[in-house]
Amino acid sequence: MKKLIFINGPVGVGKSATCEILYKKINKSVWLDGDWCWMMNPWDFSETNKRMAENNILHLLNNYLENKSFDCVIFSWVMPEERIFDVIIKSLKSREYGLYKISLVCSKEELEKRCRNTGKDERGVKRSQENLKSCANLRTVKIDTTVKTPEEAVKEILKIVNIER
């Protein structure tokens, strides 16, 4: 059965670095980063653009799930509310997959350090820390990346989704 792996967490926790390694370790896999679906300049968080991004994500996820070339679909994005997972899952055409919901988390201090190292301003750091708090309430498996490398996080994910390496 096809696997659908959601990798969630706040900005700066290591989603992209982890998924960059993860999809290369899983044969016949594809990785979609939700941010790719609305990269724009200037970035505009309007309702119109949020709907567009959601439609782009659903279109791509549905295509990947329907494509027999892939056994594993990895989707990474900041999803601080259970409602976001529910909207996506409800809108998928296929029901023929095993679902894995994983949140990458780290300490508040480590998250601030990582955000600042990538040039986030005070507002960006605060938003990321708020999303970190929200992760605690999600029905996801949590992987603490505070002292883990992306490679170590990948090893944990592979165990969770029952893929031997």
Residue 139 belongs to what domain range?
A: 2-160
Q: Over 90: is that where the pLDDT of 151 sits?
A: yes
pLDDT of residue 94: 85
CATH number for the domain harbouring residue 42: 3.40.50.300
Dump pLDDT digits (tens) for 106-134: 999 999 999 999 888 899 999 999 999 99
Dump pLDDT digits (tens) for 31-56: 999 989 888 898 888 999 989 999 99
Three state DSSP letters for the chain: CEEEEEEECCCCCCHHHHHHHHHHHCCCEEEEEHHHHHCCCCCCCCHHHHHHHHHHHHHHHHHHHHCCCCCEEEEEECCCCHHHHHHHHHCCCCCCEEEEEEEEECCHHHHHHHHHHCCCCHHHHHHHHHHHHHHCCCCCEEEECCCCCHHHHHHHHHHHCCCCC
Q: For residue 52, is it within any domain?
A: yes
Q: For residue 54, is it within any domain?
A: yes
Q: Over 70: is that where the pLDDT of 165 sits?
A: no
Q: For residue 8, is it within any domain?
A: yes
Q: For residue 74, is it within any domain?
A: yes
Dihedral (C-alpha) 33, 39, 45, 48: value to the nearest 10 degrees?
-90
Q: For residue 165, is it within any domain?
A: no
Q: Over 80: is that where the pLDDT of 164 sits?
A: no
Q: For residue 99, is it within any domain?
A: yes
pLDDT of residue 17: 96
CA count, 13 A, side-chain hemisphere, 11: 17
Distance between CA 48 and CA 115 in Å, rounded?
Answer: 27
Domain count for the chain, please give it: 1
Q: How many CB atoms lie within 10 A of CB 50?
A: 12
Q: For residue 37, is it within any domain?
A: yes
pTM of the model: 0.94
